[in-house]
Amino acid sequence: MSKLGNIGARLYRGEVGYDFIGKRKIWYGISILITITAIVGLAVRGLNFGIEFEGGAVFTTPKTSVSATQAEHMAESASGGHQAVVQKLGGSALRIQIGGLDTKQAVQVQEQLAKELKFPLEDVNTQLVGPSWGEEIANKAWLGLGIFMALVVVYLAIAFEWRMALAALIALIHDLTITVGIYALVGFEVTPGTVIGLLTILGYSLYDTVVVFDSLKEASKDITKQTRFTYSEIANRSINSTLVRSINTTVVALLPVAGLLFVGGGVLGAGMLNDISLALFVGLAAGAYSSIFIATPLVADFKEREPQMKALAKRVRAKRAAAAAKGASQEEPQDAVPAGAEAAGEGDDDAAIVGPRHQPGARNRGRGRPSGKRR
């Protein structure tokens, strides 16, 4: 841990660093590839919407020794071929979800399940969800997402500048696209819990982005009054100075979410935990990636197109070229000076740069004088 803290301190002071901005085309290419994969998965497989969005019925049974696979076959047979999703609840109870059923069909399935599972009809609890209710939920989710993004853009434009707001918006769309694409590829069910998870990750995604933007805003204040760094270089220093903090906060946030996903959802089989935890896990990882590799490099690209930043970059390059030329002249070997030039006072510039000038009067002092006490 002490080594990590030492690395973080050196990154913060700018003593070491990785060129994130200089390699931004690589990160853009990786993000485009991942985004295209997510869009293809979404187009080919589509999202597996739950009954909350498509309508259907949910049947809950008491404790039973029937396995989930057997109950799934029973439910599909009773519903006339509709796909059934069966989950084991605590105490060996069953939760059977079948989409696309109306009231009459749901009553028939309830009676058939009670008969095959050998339960009284009233012990099989039935809940119906109409498709109009699911459509209303979806519309409200889209409305909430739109309002959130609009407020984010307005706030960032006021607190920072419109280029940072635009870069943050692109990063948010990037994170949402990847998360939704993963849902399509994995085949997890989309429920209201999924929507809650998606809305939650937007805040986490913006957290790291705002931290880097705040550091960049402070470091780039009065940037045109100096000629040491370009805007891209200052942006790169801002990423490096907050890198360890971003990694630490992301890992700390991912650990409990991973517990929900792999232990709660995978081992315990809690369906609602799967819906929320997958969205959180993928969204947190994508948000940390986009804040470092997408949002800040985009801001650097936008800013470097400004005339002031172009002029600054030109001055920085000119100063460095002059310094390099001066350094090259300082490193010229002394034997490059013609023989006798040093003694005659020729090559004054080189002598003054390389070392102290030799004084001719002092050169022959004491020559031919016998050793011993001076008379």
Per-residue pLDDT reduced to its tens digit, 207-246: 888 888 988 998 888 888 888 899 999 999 888 888 888 8
pLDDT of residue 195: 81
pLDDT of residue 36: 93
Determine which helix (DSSP H) or strand (DSSP E) holds 230, and give its type and residue range.
none
Per-residue pLDDT reduced to its tens digit, 251-307: 888 888 887 777 765 555 555 666 778 888 888 888 889 988 999 999 999 999 999
Domain coordinates of the chain in residue numbers? 2-49+133-312, 56-129
CATH H-level, domain 2-49+133-312: superfamily: Multidrug efflux transporter AcrB transmembrane domain (1.20.1640.10)
Query: Average pLDDT of 141-163?
Result: 87
CATH number, domain 56-129, options 3.40.190.10, 3.30.565.10, 3.30.70.3400, 3.30.559.10: 3.30.70.3400
Query: Average pLDDT of 325-329?
Result: 79
Query: Average pLDDT of 136-162?
Result: 85
Q: Provide the pLDDT confidence category of residue 347 given band limits of 50, 70 and 90.
A: very low
- The residue written with tokens 């992301």 in the block is 250
Sign of CA dihedral 311, 312, 316, 322: positive
Closest to 156 measured CA to CA, from 217, 239, 232, 247: 217
Instruction: Please tell me the pTM assigned to this model.
Output: 0.71
Q: Provide the pLDDT confidence category of residue 340 given band limits of 50, 70 and 90.
A: very low
Task: Considering only CA atoms, give the Rg of the chain.
Answer: 35
DSSP string, 152-219: HHHHHHHHT-HHHHHHHHHHHHHHHHHHHHHHHHHTPEE-HHHHHHHHHHHHHHHHHHHHHHHHHHHH
